[in-house]
Every structure is written in structure tokens, then in C-alpha cells.
Amino acid sequence: MLSVVVPYRNEALLAFTVQRLHETIRVPYEIITVDDGSDQPVEIPAGVKNIRIDESNGVDFARHIGIEAAQYDTVLVIDAHMNFWDDDWSERLVDYSVNNPTHVGCVITLGLESGRMEMEGARGRYFGAHIIPAEITDESNVHYVFARRILVDKWNTVCQPGEVGSVLGGAYFMSRRWYLETLLSPWEELRGWGYSEANISIPNFLMGGKNVCLDVEMGHMFRHASPFPTHIHKVLFNELYLAHVVIPDPAERNELIGRLALPDDAVAQGAWELLEQSVHRWYGRYLVEKGKRTWEDYKDEWMDSSRTY
């Protein structure tokens, strides 16, 4: 049995994605759509439970709300612009998750061109991600986002499915019970859209779970630009939150945060104010005191300094 959670905001392809789910899922299922404060009309497809959040908080919080509302333990969280093969992907995914409840997984992502949803001829296959610390300066990027990253995703295009340092892409699956009770809902505190994989992958590793890429393909449309603004201070908050959650040593934490090319004071202050409102201190103590593995374990196994972005 499978609960599919689909967060969206102003998403024209929601109906297409839901229809493809109806056409391809072969196990008992439910579909929960979560509207993250859309300010444009969106067609609500038939056969879903739609949850409306009046004020936009971001994709991760919307994911969390959907997971809380799910009735089945195996949860698949996807973006609202995806496609699926007409094969046994749902049966394989549920079977794997039931037998591996401490795994948080992604799938092989087929990169669909913007506005083109056909699975055939996708531009690439991606097998999860590496997480690396990096300073990146790219003034050609209008938002200058990549210069402000603490931990950067490097998409894995070489290794085959199996255990990975981080999940990646528009589809994530997990045990609802594991997410809520052991990981303590790591997406609940995050804000904004994007840059969120590390915030579930690293805590999952520390609590004794595994991050995996399942040998199942799904198509994810890659947009060239977001249809709505992503506020930089929220992206910064997600990075700062992760550092405070998983790194107990203040010196090392400050050194990692020092990699941030912080923007103007107003943006930086917005990120710190969000951090002060969070419960990161309690969550950090939980991971440090009760975690099965440490930040050092994660670095030794998954953060290869030879990788470059």
C-alpha cells in the first residue's frame, strides 16, 4: 500500500502528473496533493485528497504536511511535474521500502526537458548525489545562489543504483513511521523551495539509516527557471539549520558556515531570525546524544575532498 504526496504551487502540470500516477500505480494507494499557497488557479485533479496551505512556506514543509496526513507507511513524495513508465515501479518501490524501513530513497531520475513530458529521449540519468563543501562564485547567475552554499549537491551520473551519500531529484520514498518517529520530521522546519536533500539524507545516516537510489526510473521535468521567486534568506536558513543540526563541534560548524559568501545584511539577518525561531538546538542534542553515527562518520564515508563541483 502506497501514499503518494505531491506538493505544488501554481503548477500547471499537476493534473498530468496525477493522471499518470492513476494510470501506472499497481498497488492499493492514495494521492495527497498539498497546495503551498498558490496565488494562481490550479486544476485540482480527481481522485486526490487536496490540502491547502494559505501562506507559502516551501516544498519541504508541504511534504511534511502530506506525510503527516498519509494513511499508509510507505510514502512516495514527488514533484508535480513528473512522468512514469507503464511498468511495475510501484510494486518494486513498496516491496523495497517495506523490507528496508530505515532507508530513505530516491529513484533514477530521467531529466525531462522543460515543457516536454515524454519519457523517451530524456537528457540524462541521475543516481542520487554526493554532498561536498564548496565555495562557488558565479556572477552570471542572477540570484548568485551558488556562492552561498555550505554543502553542495553534486549529481551522480556515474555510479549505479545502490547506497548513496544523498538522495536527489523529484521523488523520495521512506517509511512514514521512520520519518516521524526516528528522524523527527527533518523537513518540518525547512522553508523555501529547493536545496533540501542534505537535510534529510545526513540526519538519516546519523540515525543509522541508509540513503539509497532504487533501480526504478521516473521522469522529472527540469525547468530552466522557477515559476515563482525563491527567497535567498530561506535557502540560507536551510543551510544554516543543517549545520546546527548535525555538527556538534562549534569550531567546525563555524568553519563550515564561514564558507558562506553571505549576501547583504538584510538577507543574512532574515536567515538568522528564522534559525532563532526553530528548534534546532533541541534537535541537534537529540542527534548528538542518541544518533548511531556521527558527523565524522558521514564525512569519512561520503564527503570525498577530491570531488569538485
Task: Give the tens place of pLDDT for each residue, 58-73.
Answer: 999 999 999 999 999 9
pTM, two decimals, is 0.91
Q: What angle do CA 150, 107, 134 make, to 5 degrees?
A: 15
Question: 241 and 190 in contact (C-beta within 8 Å)?
Answer: yes
pLDDT-derived band at 146 (thresholds 50, 70, 90) equals very low
Determine the Cα–Cα distance for residues 160 and 156; give it in Å rounded to an integer. 9
Q: Is 50 exceeded by the pLDDT of residue 43? A: yes
**Ramachandran quadrant class, 74 (left: phi over 0; alpha: psi -120 to 50; beta: rest):** beta
Spatial separation of the C-alpha atoms in residues 25 and 28, rounded to whole Å: 8
Q: What SS3 state is found at 124?
A: coil
Q: What was the pLDDT predicted at 72? A: 98
Fold type of domain 2-131+153-221: Spore Coat Polysaccharide Biosynthesis Protein SpsA; Chain A (3.90.550)
d(Cα 244, Cα 257) in Å, to the nearest integer?
10
Asked if residue 15 has pLDDT above 80, the reply is: yes
Q: What is the mean pLDDT of the chain?
A: 87
Alpha-carbon distance of 248 to 197, in angstroms, equals: 20
Phi, psi (rounded to 5 degrees) for 276:
-65, -30
Which residues have a Cβ under 8 Å from the Cβ of 99 and sit 6 or more positions away?
Answer: none
Q: Residue 263 — very low, low, confident or very high, per pLDDT cuts 50/70/90?
A: low
The percent helix, strand, coil of the chain (3-state, each to 5) is 35, 25, 40
